[in-house]
Amino acid sequence: MTDLRTYLLMAGLTGLFLAIGHALGGQNGMMMALLLAAGMNFWAYWFSDEAVLSMHNAFEVGPQQAPELHGIVQELARRGGMPMPRVFLIDDDSPNAFATGRDPEHAAVAATTGILRILNREELAGVMAHEMAHVRHRDILIATITATLAGAITSIAHFSQLFSGRSSNDEEGRGGLWQILMLVLAPVAAMLIQMAVSRSREYEADAGGAQLCGNPLWLASALGKLEMGSRRIPLQSAEANPASAHMFIVSPLSGSMLAGLFSTHPPMEERIARLQRQAYR
């Protein structure tokens, strides 16, 4: 059911993208939007993992550079019968982690140096199991394509005047009003769809990660620490690239009431409560 809901939401995002193209440029605009969406999805499928890792200045590490982190990921991969993903570190005090890649055979997991300082081994295992669950569920590809389309919708709304072919004054007035509405409403609609996709996937990754590491309370304890730590120290690379914020295990952005309202992450209290219920079932 979650998979069906996710793909329906992604279809809605694609439909919104095409509707904007049609509204701003008729059939030609819709065809341009379709070609742009196809091109961006192709790029996202093959190259987005390296782009995201580079965006956050992540560097690959082996067992010599990060023995505990690498060993935990290796053990989780063995336990889950999964290919060993590449392991990356981000030199930042903000505690967080994410996964990327197009499939389990081409996956990478990344953690900040900050997360290594505040979590014990069991909690770190819970976090990395959450990321490995994203890999197993192929959420990382869905998240990347969703982010790509959402970013494209925002961009096409900002440059909507390029797709306007109106001629008469009356039509130009209506076209200008429509462009203003697109500028305001299209990015909001894309953000809401992106948020719905991400939130549904986070709950599934929490449950799958808890099962993979063997103790839901390890992840529950880690989430509580990460929530406080990320609020105190936002991740600077995510602040500069907010379109990637939904990929992290907790929101890496500085908090505000509006940011909380439109957060791509579920409420932390609910995530922890679900894990606690899972532990005592």
Long-range Cβ contacts of 218-221 (<8 Å, 24+ apart) = 218/122, 218/123, 218/125, 218/126, 219/123, 219/126, 219/127, 219/129, 219/130, 219/275, 220/126, 220/271, 220/272, 220/275, 220/276, 220/279, 221/122, 221/123, 221/126
Half-sphere exposure of 143 (CA within 13 A, CB side): 30
User: Quick one: tokens of 2?
Assistant: 């979650």
Q: Is residue 131 annotated as a catalytic residue, yes or no?
A: yes
3-state class of 69 per DSSP?
Answer: helix
First and final C-alpha spacing in the chain: 22
Provide φ and ψ at 280, rounded to 5°: -105, 15
Query: Of the residues 50, 68, 131, 269, which is catalytic?
Result: 131
Say if CB 223 and CB 250 are below 8 A apart. yes
**Catalytic site residues?**
131
